């Protein structure tokens, strides 16, 4: 393997393990097919095509790889949901919608190392028996779309795509499909409707998941960009070795995108469970901004439940611990009431007003609801209205409970998981920072918005612009 240097200022932190991001910001590396091949690219594909598809599926199952799109579903297991004896075409879709606020990882792969993704995708298509694949890319990635289209054309010109790939007898076409720019199109069934040219309303599931009934009613595997790149890693390392890297129930590396109030925001690829939030924020990200202290963390994209940095938590053995002691892996974060979701960590320091942060999130969800089901379509603007009126000094006593009640009426009562994604922030912000919301609904603030007391309270809460 050739020696790797990174661009000045872009060197990985010693705690990082760069696998998927091995070539991101690498000196002398570019997204061309020549560069990828020179670096050993497409050899894994040639090896994979000599195997039986079932061997690849077994290897991915053995690896314990879990999807990186948000839900953390085991990839190999998902692949086996294609009905036995299926006679219809099978499709594979790469989810490159990357729409969850706080998430910025997939775009780097497409911009800087697109053939890594294409190779992972071809291997995955071969494994599940798909002869047609789609890269579904969000509208807001115009440059990435150009790079991906060129990469697909180049891969075809060298017979990594097309008919009889590398003389194996395996045929595969992959197309690029661009969305029109909607958060909901990241949800897999909505994404499928979007490709079919329909309004992107999510489909009801269960009982039928895309692996059984998906694109045009045919079995369809939808996987995230990073998951498909991880499949390539599984081929390189072998399932067993991959399974032994990092947290036992969520092995492999994880790309964490950190944004917000830290000195060094950015992406970091770490072995799952190898570092804690404290190490991530203080060592890799350089700590809080000057004179500030950490107040809250949203650990896995905007939909994951916010965690309070001064919370006193308990470890599994009952000993006291803090948020900063939580290891960065799926189970450890879930054990403390949130989730690692899409890997987007949003950090807030003590300058932030939590009602203002929630208001910002509510504006996003109210705009992005697809409108198919009533609790989500009506509840989101209602939640926005409530946080708006809290911030404008027009809230009524009882609005905090009303806000929570609206969120409770959405959660679990909708067609798709957007219902949870939009309700969890409100529920968690109120549960963890109730005092800030209550302060904005007390009569002195609510009834005399322009009084000195109200202004002082707003300044204290950090929301006076
Ligand atoms: C509202 C909503 C938005 C989503 N957005 C994305 C997204 O942008 N990218 C993504 O990979 N998965 C997204 N997902 C998850 C997908 O539905 C699906 O589970 C995922 O693409 C499966 O890939 P994986 O198994 O490789 O994780 C979203 C889910 C919901 C409910
Ligand atoms: S929960 Fe919201 S986004 Fe999902 S189908 Fe219902 S209205 Fe659409």
| Atom 20 of ligand 1, residue of closest alpha carbon | 69
CATH number for the domain harbouring residue 312: 3.10.20.600
| pLDDT tens readout for residues 125-183 | 999 999 999 999 999 999 999 999 999 999 999 999 999 999 999 999 999 999 998 99
Where residue 287 falls among pLDDT bands split at 50, 70, 90? very high
| Atom 8 of ligand 2, residue of closest alpha carbon | 370
Contact in structure between 334 and 287 (CB atoms under 8 Å): no
Distance of CA 222 to the CA centre of its chain: 14
What order of strands is seen across the sheet that includes strand 253-260? 266-271, 253-260, 344-349, 294-298, 307-308
Pair (82, 127) in one structural domain? yes
Mean pLDDT score across all residues of the chain: 94
CA distance 440 to 455: 11
Q: How is residue 52 written in tokens?
A: 């039986």
| pLDDT tens readout for residues 229-273 | 999 999 999 999 999 999 999 999 999 999 999 999 999 999 999
Q: How far is the CA of 224 from the centre of ligand 1 (A)?
A: 7
Pair (98, 212) in one structural domain? yes
CA distance 285 to 258: 8
CA distance 334 to 364: 24
Structural domain range at position 80: 33-243
Which of 316, 333, 349 marks a domain boundary? 349
Where residue 453 falls among pLDDT bands split at 50, 70, 90? low
Pair (364, 326) in one structural domain? no
| Closest ligand relative to 341 C-alpha | 1
Residue 445 has pLDDT above 90, yes or no: no
Number of compact structural domains in the chain? 3
Which of 300, 325, 349 marks a domain boundary? 349
Cα–Cα distances in angstroms (integers) from residue 432 to residues 107, 166, 245, 296, in the given order: 32, 56, 34, 9
Burial of 54 (0-12, 13-18, 19+ CB in 10 A): exposed
| Closest ligand relative to 60 C-alpha | 1
Pair (286, 140) in one structural domain? no
With tokens 């294409």, the residue in question is 118
- Concatenating the DSSP letter of every residue in 333-356 gives HHHTT---TTSEEEEEETT--HHH
**In the prediction, which pLDDT does 354 show?**
96
Residue 10 has pLDDT above 50, yes or no: yes
Residue 78 has pLDDT above 50, yes or no: yes
331 inside domain = yes
330 inside domain = yes
CATH number for the domain harbouring residue 102: 3.40.50.11540
Pair (235, 105) in one structural domain? yes
Contact in structure between 344 and 259 (CB atoms under 8 Å): yes
Pair (188, 53) in one structural domain? yes
| Closest ligand relative to 303 C-alpha | 1
Which of 317, 349, 381 marks a domain boundary? 349
With tokens 């061997």, the residue in question is 55
Mean pLDDT confidence for 105-123: 98
Angle at 361 between CA 359 and CA 362, to 5 degrees: 65
Pair (310, 214) in one structural domain? no
Residue 443 has pLDDT above 80, yes or no: no
1 inside domain = no
Beta strands in 291-398 (DSSP E): 294-298, 307-308, 313-314, 320-321, 344-349
Pair (145, 82) in one structural domain? yes
Ligand 2, pocket residues at CB < 6 Å: 184, 202, 369-373, 376-377, 414-416, 418-419
| Atom 4 of ligand 2, residue of closest alpha carbon | 416
Beta pairing class for 320-321 and 130-137:
unpaired
25 inside domain = no
4 inside domain = no
Ligand 1, pocket residues at CB < 6 Å: 67-71, 73, 95, 97-100, 184, 186-188, 222-224, 227, 416-418, 421
Cα–Cα distances in angstroms (integers) from residue 59 to residues 124, 293, 461, in the given order: 12, 45, 53
C-alpha closest to that of 203 among 415, 457, 424: 415
Pair (227, 365) in one structural domain? no
Q: How far is the CA of 137 from the centre of ligand 1 (A)?
A: 12
205 inside domain = yes
13 inside domain = no
Give the bridge partners for 255, in sequence order: 269
**In the prediction, which pLDDT does 256 show?**
97
| Atom 6 of ligand 2, residue of closest alpha carbon | 373
Pair (338, 399) in one structural domain? no
Pair (319, 437) in one structural domain? no
Pair (107, 145) in one structural domain? yes
6 inside domain = no
Burial of 465 (0-12, 13-18, 19+ CB in 10 A): exposed
Q: Pocket of ligand 2, candidates 382, 415, 422: which has the most ligand atoms within 8 Å of its Cβ, to mutate? A: 415
- Concatenating the DSSP letter of every residue in 208-271 gives --TTTS-GGGS-EEEEEHHHHHHHHHHHHH-HHHHHTSSSTTS-SEEEEEEEESSSS-EEEEEE
CATH number for the domain harbouring residue 407: 1.20.1440.230
């Amino acid at each position: 393997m050739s020696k790797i240097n990174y661009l000045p200022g872009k060197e990985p932190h010693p705690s990082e393990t760069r696998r998927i991001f091995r070539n991101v910001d690498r000196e002398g590396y570019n997204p061309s097919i020549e560069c990828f091949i020179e670096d050993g690219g497409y050899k894994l594909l040639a090896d994979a095509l000599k195997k039986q598809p079932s061997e690849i599926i077994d290897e991915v199952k053995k690896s314990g790889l879990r999807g990186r799109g948000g839900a953390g579903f085991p990839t190999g297991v998902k692949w086996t949901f294609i009905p036995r004896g299926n006679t219809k075409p099978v499709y594979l879709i790469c989810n490159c919608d990357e729409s969850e606020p706080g998430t910025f990882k997939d775009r780097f792969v497409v911009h800087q190392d697109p053939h890594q993704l294409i190779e992972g995708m071809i291997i995955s298509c071969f494994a599940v028996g798909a002869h047609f694949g789609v890269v579904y890319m969000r509208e807001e990635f115009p440059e990435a779309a150009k790079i991906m289209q060129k990469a697909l054309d180049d891969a075809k010109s060298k017979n990594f795509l097309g008919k009889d790939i590398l003389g194996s007898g395996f045929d595969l076409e992959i197309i690029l499909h661009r969305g029109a720019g909607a958060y909901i199109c990241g949800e897999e069934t909505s994404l499928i409707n979007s490709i079919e040219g329909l309004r992107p309303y999510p489909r009801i599931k269960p009982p039928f998941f895309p692996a059984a009934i998906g694109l045009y009613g045919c079995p369809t595997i939808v996987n995230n960009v990073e998951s498909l790149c991880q499949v390539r890693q599984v081929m390189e390392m072998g399932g067993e070795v991959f399974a032994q890297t990092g947290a036992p129930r969520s092995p492999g590396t994880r790309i964490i995108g950190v944004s917000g109030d830290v000195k060094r925001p950015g992406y970091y690829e770490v072995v799952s469970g190898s570092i804690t939030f404290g190490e991530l924020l203080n060592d890799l990200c350089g700590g809080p901004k000057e004179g500030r202290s950490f107040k809250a963390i949203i650990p896995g994209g905007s939909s994951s439940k916010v965690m309070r940095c001064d919370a006193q938590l308990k470890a599994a053995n009952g000993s006291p611990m803090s948020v900063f002691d939580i290891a960065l892996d799926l189970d450890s974060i879930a054990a403390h009431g949130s989730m690692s979701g899409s890997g987007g960590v949003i950090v807030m320091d003590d300058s932030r007003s939590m009602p203002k942060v929630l208001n910002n999130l509510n504006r996003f969800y109210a705009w992005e609801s697809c409108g198919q089901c009533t609790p989500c379509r009506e509840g989101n603007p209602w939640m926005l209205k409530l946080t708006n009126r809290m911030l404008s000094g027009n809230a009524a006593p009882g609005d905090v409970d009303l806000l929570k009640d609206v969120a409770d009426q959405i959660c679990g009562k909708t067609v798709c998981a957007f219902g949870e994604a939009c309700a969890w922030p409100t529920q968690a912000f109120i549960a963890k920072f109730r005092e800030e919301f209550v302060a904005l609904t007390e009569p002195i603030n609510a009834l005399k918005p322009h009084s000195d007391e109200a202004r002082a309270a707003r300044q204290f809460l950090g929301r006076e612009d």
